[in-house]
Amino acid sequence: MAKPIKTSDVFVPGRNPQYTYNPRSDRELEERLRLYLDDGGAILTLVGPTKTGKTVLLREVIETPVWIEAQGIDSAETFWALVGNELGLYVDSGTSSDSNDSLEGGGGVNAGVFNVGGKVTTSTGQSLGKSAVRVTSVESRKALQDSGRVLVVDDFHFIARDVQQQIVQAVKPLVYNDTRVVFAAISHRVLDVPQAVDDMAGRTEPLRIELWKIDELLVIARRGFEKLRVVDYENRLARTLAENSFGSPHLMQRLCREFVRDVNEISEAVQPARDLHEPADWDEFFRKQVDGRAGQWFARLLSGPKKGGNTRTTYDIVDGRKVDGYGLILLAVAATLPELVITRQKLNSAIDVLVGEGAKPADHQVTRFLKHMTRIAGRSLEEDVLPEELLDEEDADGTYIYAGVEPVLEYVEDGPNSVLSIADPFIAYYIRWGAGLHIEALTEQSETPDPPSR
């Protein structure tokens, strides 16, 4: 007798969905990806907000890709070593050969190629009693082209710009010689590939993944509920979950799993079918699902840059709270949710509503706050936040950021087209459901009287 299907196998945040995959057929994403695989001749850049299904789409369509995770790649040599490893390339240092179908090393290290005087072979995981050394660069590129497999680099934006340039330069001739290459990145980095090398304009093909609509998220719930034999009449409960997923299938998977398993105490498919019931308190349910790392980011953005000697100006909110400029912007973002791409005009309007007739920051001050928050989001949580003056200097000289980081937000200054993008649905979720205590704590600090002077 077959074992019942577990709830955790049906709703799978962060994993490849077996039962709840939605190809979003009306967007023709799979078809467009397959057309690229047929045509070739360019690097495909698959871009979209984080946690919106880019990886799932690629794994669903591409068979046996050479899959490279970009995080941690600090040089072109490291990249090609990873490619070689995926292809099973090793140097058999105990053998030499003059065979034409062997790749010969001449000894020493040259041009990023590890040459150890041996014959490059493929391996199925058995060492055959020989010592094996991983190879890179020329050997890896030739083996990739000979394999006929698609090279996929996930999270390409994690790689520093100078290393991106070296990688793009190296894969260019492979693409011209019929190798398919896909770089996946967040939306804001759509120009990384065409800008990496001067003559790449027109040699890249973008495929954009958009945030999911409510009806697309509902497909996940319907298919999963059907597999578990649980009933949600007229999708009423699923719609509430979808409306709080901020366009992210990852978040929808997580909310569905916790709703079925924790609220309804159903850990596997049931027989007979059972009706689902809503939680006693929806707000409490959603608050329990906030992501801890998103909370760290929120606290970091709320605190802003390291403070100098001057006390920050605070602003009185109409509900009685008191916040500085960074808190004011985050409250304005909360007021515009579930929108994740917020025009400057809409942000300014939200600020006006928050402060009412009270004082508010000037436009140039709001711009400075937004640029500081963007710079803060461009560094990892493990790095120190810089003082305001250094962030201003970075912005003035155009210092490149985002290498190794998926920014949770980004402000792009473009006159009337200026926008603030909330790039991570998890930070949007946190702003909606987990930010209250942070704001209240900040308000309490700002209301604490200064100690008497001595």
pLDDT digit string, tens, across residues 312-354: 899 999 998 899 999 999 999 999 999 999 999 999 999 999 9
Question: What pLDDT does 188 receive?
Answer: 55
Confidence check: pLDDT of 197 > 90 = no
pLDDT: which is higher, 46 or 2: 46
Q: What's the chain's average pLDDT?
A: 84
Mean pLDDT of 111-115: 37
385 or 404, which is more confident:
385
Q: Which of 211-215, 262-266, 268-272, 385-389 has the lowest mean pLDDT?
A: 385-389
**How confident is the model at residue 454, as a pLDDT?**
37
Secondary structure of the chain in HEC code, one letter for each residue: CCCCCEHHHHCCCCCCCCCCCCCCHHHCHHHHHHHHHHHCCCEEEEECCCCCCHHHHHHHHCCCCEEEECCCCCCHHHHHHHHHHHCCEEEECCCCCCCCCCEECCCCEECCEECCCCEEEECCCCCCCCCEECCCHHHHHHHHHHHCCCEEEECHHHCCHHHHHHHHHHHHHHHHCCCCEEEEECHHHCCHHHHHCHHHCCCEEEEECCCCCHHHHHHHHHHHHHHHCEECHHHHHHHHHHHCCCCCHHHHHHHHHHHHHHHCCCCECCCCCEECCCCCCHHHHHHHCCCHHHHHHHHHHHHCCECCCCCCCEEECCCCCEEEHHHHHHHHHHHHCCCCEEEHHHHHHHHHHHHCCCCCCCHHHHHHHHHHHHHHHCCCCCCCCCEHHHHHHHHHHCCCCCCCCCCCEEEECCHHHCEEEECCHHHHHHHHHCCHHHHHHHHHHHHCCCCCCC
pTM: 0.81
pLDDT at 331: 95
Every domain of the chain and the residues it spans? 25-208, 213-288, 294-447
Q: Which residue has the higher pLDDT, 158 or 125?
A: 158
Q: Mean of the pLDDT values across residues 121-125?
A: 43
**pLDDT attached to residue 93:** 45
Mean pLDDT over 36-65 rounds to 91
Q: Indicate whether 80 pLDDT > 80.
A: yes
Least confident range of 102-111, 228-237, 353-362, 393-402? 102-111
What is the arithmetic mean of pLDDT over 217-234?
Answer: 97
Pick one of 3.50.40, 3.90.1490, 2.60.120, 3.40.50 as the CATH number of 25-208.
Answer: 3.40.50
Q: What percent of the chain has pLDDT over 70?
A: 80
Convert the pLDDT of each residue in 143-153 to its tens digit.
999 999 999 99
Which of 142-146, 199-203, 307-311 is predicted most confidently? 142-146
- Residue 196: predicted pLDDT: 52
Question: Does 112 have pLDDT greater than 60?
Answer: no
